Amino acid sequence: MNTAHPSIIIDDSEIRQRALAVPRPRPLAEEERQALMARIKQLLQEKNAVLVAHYYTEDDLQLLADETGGCVSDSLEMARFSHTHPASTIVVAGVRFMGETAKILNPEKRVLMPTLEAECSLDLSCPADSFNAFCDEHPDRTVVVYANTSAEVKARADWVVTSSIATKIVRHLHEKGEKILWAPDRYLGGYIQKVTGADMLLWQGSCIVHDEFKARELVKLHSKHPDAAVLVHPESPMDVINQADLVGSTTEIIRAAKEMKNDTFIVATDRGIFYKMKQAAPDKHFIIAPTGGIGASCGSCAHCPWMAMNSLENLAQTLESSDNEIQVDPEIGRQAMVSVKRMLDFAESLRTPATGEANIASPA
């Protein structure tokens, strides 16, 4: 049963305003860019630090992470990598919940971020106080939260999941007869409910970036490229998901670009992912799914404004100063570690490649 709780009304207009007000990094001249790249490489070595970058960050940050033995990945692999890497400092280029997850898993290490202002609309939509009250009302449900949440919300959860493993974990719980309380993304929750048939009570948050993909415009675009495969991140609205040839996490979308036979792909997720998609399949063509059309606000235009706050400049400054250190209350961290570790142990038990299977839609 897919049940949205009637008392959970999220007015995300304030969150959207915040996203629109996010400052953009200034463009760099080539000489300056090269000098910063060289300085960052040196600082990473000097500080025994490793760079972990999300697929949505700027190309240069992904390049640096690759070139310095760091990691460019989705949020599950970022967590796993930071947990197993021996460096004493982890530098997370992404958004705050990713830095917090690294700190939860590595309380003894220093976790830095190029900026501590990089938020996530899903995290913002789910304040710990109201979430705790919601959980208190439903003590019979297993609490499963998406990684895109604060440390406090993770501490309340039984399980933390990322998009690449969420379906498997919910299916596992459903098979054990458990009813789920899910937060915060209503689209991802609705999608998992549909795929697994689990009884899920849904928090009503959404990602402001994926929420902008437009189903009607996607139909039109697809009709112009009939041979293209449509790849969709499950944070997108259901009428966009319904048009997908593949619904998957960021890693699964990149893998599909390589493995699917199509020559052209229409992609409904942050355009930062094109950097790795082009590396994975250099001869193929990638088109971003439409965010324009009827009802369009294009506040983000398929690029997360908070991910875009990470830059070479603030990365270098952070490494120089060791400012922007992530702090998590130790007790909250200990509690959150239980639910995050449960996910990592579950992933390990599946013995699948890093981030699991994608859901390739069967032809209608």
Q: Which residues bind ligand SF4 (CB under 6 A)?
A: 95, 120-122, 148, 207-209, 235, 270, 304, 306-307
| 200-202 and 180-183 strand pairing | parallel
Q: Which is nearer to ligand 13P, 163 or 262 (CB)?
A: 163
Residue whose CB is less far from ligand SF4, 87 or 237: 237
- In the complex, least distance from residue 97 CB atom to ligand SF4, rounded to whole angstroms: 8
Indicate which of ligand 13P, ligand SF4, none lies near residue 306 (CB less than 5 to 8 Å, by partner kind). ligand SF4
CB-CB contact of 92 with 100 (8 Å):
no
Q: Out of 58, 60, 235, 245, point to the residue binding ligand 13P (CB under 6 A).
A: 235
Asked if residue 185 binds ligand 13P (CB under 6 A), the reply is no
Instruction: Give the residue with the Cβ less far from ligand 13P, 54 or 214.
Output: 54
Residue 132's closest CA among 168, 97, 181, 60? 181
Using CB under 6 A as the binding rule, whether residue 100 contacts ligand 13P is answered as no
- Return the closest-CA partner of residue 77 out of 157, 165, 149: 165
Q: What is the largest CA-CA distance in the chain?
A: 60
**148 binds ligand 13P per the rule CB under 6 A:** yes
Given the complex with ligand SF4, which of 134 and 213 has the nearer CB atom? 213
Q: Which is nearer to ligand 13P, 80 or 103 (CB)?
A: 80
C-beta of 184 vs 333, nearer to ligand 13P: 184
Indicate the residue among 191 and 306 with the shorter CB distance to ligand SF4: 306
Least distance in angstroms from the C-beta of 46 to ligand 13P: 29
Which window, 29-37, 159-167, 190-198, 345-353, contacts ligand 13P (CB under 6 A)? 159-167
Stretch that binds ligand 13P, among 18-26, 41-49, 161-169, 254-262 (CB under 6 A): 161-169
Shortest gap between Cβ of 160 and ligand 13P (angstroms)?
11
Q: How far is it, in rounded angstroms, from Cα 184 to Cα 122?
A: 6
Q: How far is the CB of 207 from ligand SF4 (least distance, A)?
A: 3
If contact means CB under 5 to 8 A according to the sort of partner, which of ligand 13P, ligand SF4, none does residue 243 touch? none
CA–CA distances in Å: residue 168 to residues 143, 193, 232: 15, 11, 18
Pattern 245-264, binding to ligand 13P, x per CB under 6 A?
Answer: ----xx--------------
Smallest distance, ligand SF4 to C-beta of residue 162, A: 11
Nearer to ligand 13P, 330 or 353 (CB): 353
Residue 229's binding partner out of ligand 13P, ligand SF4, none, with CB under 5 to 8 Å set by partner kind: none
Tokens found for residue 226: 């009939």
Given the rule CB under 6 A, which of 156-164, 186-194, 223-231, 315-323 is the region that contacts ligand 13P? Answer: 156-164
Residues 106, 327: Cα–Cα separation, whole Å: 11
Q: Residue 125: which of 113, 136, 134 has the closest Cα? A: 134
Per CB under 6 A, 207 contacts ligand 13P: yes
Binding flag, residue 119, ligand 13P (CB under 6 A): no
Measured from the CB atom, the residue of 148 and 339 that comes closer to ligand 13P is: 148
Residues that bind ligand 13P (CB under 6 A): 74-75, 148, 162-164, 207, 235, 249-250
